[in-house]
Amino acid sequence: MPTLPAYERETTVNFNDADDFAIVTTHQRTVITSLRKNTAATELSTDSYGGVSFQIPKKLVTFRNPRKQSDASKAAVAERMRAARAAKGQ
């Protein structure tokens, strides 16, 4: 089986408003392994380059925004880390 260069080993997710499922096609080994272990994912096909297509419930597809932290919150986290490191060093 031929292998793809790193820049071509990609993952695509396709879904629409009419269906309750998404189709995930990937050539990334870690994503393939993760989806094969996911009991909600159904493996559909494999291509000649090692890519695999899966069908998964659309509700499992999420897009996350990075958390916004205030300066006070960042300072509190930093202080807790300092205290934890000091306690560990004793």
Determine the average pLDDT of the residues in 20-32. 96
> Where do the structural domains in the chain lie, given as residue ranges?
1-62
* Closest of 38, 43, 35, 51 to residue 3, by C-alpha: 51
Q: What are the pLDDT digits (tens) for 53-78?
A: 999 999 999 988 877 888 888 899 89
pTM: 0.70
1-39: b or e for each residue (b if 16 or more CB lie within 10 Å)?
eeeeeeeebeeeeebeeeeebbbbbbbbeebbeebeeee
Tell me what pLDDT residue 90 has. Answer: 59
